[in-house]
Chains A and B, each alone.
Chain A
Amino acid sequence: MAVPISYYLILGALLFVVGVVGVLLRRNMLVVLGAFEVAFTGVHLSWVAFAHYHGQLDGQVVVLFSLVVSVAQIGVGLALVLAFYRHVRCVDIEAADKLRW
Chain B
Amino acid sequence: MVVGIQLEHMQVGAVAVLVAPLLSALVNVIWGRHLGNKAHIPALVGMTVAWAASIVLLIGSIEGHVLNMRGYTWLALGNWTIDLGLQVDALTAATLVTCTIIGLATQVCAIGQLRGEAAYARYFALVDFAAAAAAALVLADNFATVLVAWTALGLCSCLLIGFRRDDETAVAAAGKTAVFELVSTALFALGLWVLLAERGGVSFAALEADSSRMAHVAPIALLLCGAVACRSAQFPWHIWIADATAAPAPASVWIHALSGGLAGVYILARTQPLLAASPLASQVLAGVGTATALLAIFLALVAADLRRVLTYVAASQFGFVFAALGLGAYVAGVFHGFVLAFALALLFLASGAIGRAAPQIEDVWKMGGLGKHIPAVFWTFMSGALVLAGALPVSGFWSRNDVLTAALDAGDLAVWIAGCTASLATSLCAFRLVFLVFWGEPRSDAATRVGKLPASMYAALAILAFVCIALGGVGYPPGGGFINRFLEPVLGVFAQAGKGGLPHTALMAVTTSTAILGAVLAWALYGRSAPDPARDRSGSLLQVLTAEYYVETVYKHLLVRPLQAFARFLWDFVDTVVLDLLLVNGSALCTRGVGWMLGRLHNGQVGTYVLVAVVGVVVALSYLVF
Contacts and interface: CB of A to CB of B under 8 A. Distances in A.
Tell me, yes or no, whether A and B come into direct contact in the complex with CB atoms closer than 8 A. Answer: yes
17 contacts: A24-B607, A24-B610, A24-B611, A24-B614, A94-B605, A96-B604, A96-B605, A96-B606, A97-B603, A97-B604, A98-B604, A99-B602, A99-B604, A100-B604, A101-B599, A101-B602, A101-B603
Given A20-B614, A24-B614, A101 B605 contact: no
B603 A93 contact: no
A100 B598 CA distance: 12
Nearest to A98: B604
Contact of B607 (A20, A94, A98, A99): A94
Contacts of B604: 96-100
Contacts of B607: 23-24, 93-94
Query: Chain A binding site: helix, strand, loop or mixed by DSSP?
Result: loop
Nearest to B602: A101
Interface in A38-63: none
The 4 closest A-B pairs by CB, nearest first: A100-B604, A97-B604, A101-B599, A99-B604
Contacts of A20: 614
A5 to B, nearest CB: 19
A101 B605 CA distance: 11
Nearest to B599: A101
Contacts of A101: 599-600, 602-603
Query: Chain B binding site: helix, strand, loop or mixed by DSSP?
Result: helix
Contacts of A100: 602-605
Interface size class of A (residues with CB under 8 A): 10 to 19
Interface in A54-101: 93-94, 96-101
B621 to A, nearest CB: 12
Contacts of B606: 93, 96
Interface string B536-578: 0000000000000000000000000000000000000000000
A8 B610 CA distance: 27
Given A24-B610, A24-B611, A97 B605 contact: yes
A21 to B, nearest CB: 9
Nearest to A100: B604
Contacts of B611: 24
Nearest to B598: A101
B613 to A, nearest CB: 10
Contacts of B602: 99-101
Most buried by B among A20, A23, A93, A101: A101
Contacts of B600: 101
Contacts of B599: 101
A98 B605 CA distance: 8
B587 to A, nearest CB: 22
A93 B614 contact: no
A18 to B, nearest CB: 13
Contacts of A93: 605-607
Contacts of A98: 604
A31 to B, nearest CB: 12
Interface in B37-69: none
Interface in B590-626: 599-600, 602-607, 610-611, 614
Most buried by A among B606, B610, B614: B606
A85 to B, nearest CB: 15
A24 B610 CA distance: 7
A99 B614 CA distance: 20
Given A20-B614, A24-B610, A93-B607, 18 more contacts: A23-B607, A23-B610, A24-B611, A24-B614, A93-B605, A93-B606, A96-B604, A96-B605, A96-B606, A97-B604, A98-B604, A99-B602, A99-B604, A100-B602, A100-B603, A100-B605, A101-B599, A101-B600
A98 B610 CA distance: 16
A52 B614 CA distance: 29
A90 B398 CA distance: 117
A93 B611 CA distance: 13
Contacts of A94: 605, 607
Nearest to B596: A101
Interface in A1-41: 20, 23-24
A36 to B, nearest CB: 10
B618 to A, nearest CB: 10
A99 B602 CA distance: 8
Contacts of A24: 607, 610-611, 614
A92 to B, nearest CB: 11
A97 B609 CA distance: 11
Nearest to B618: A20
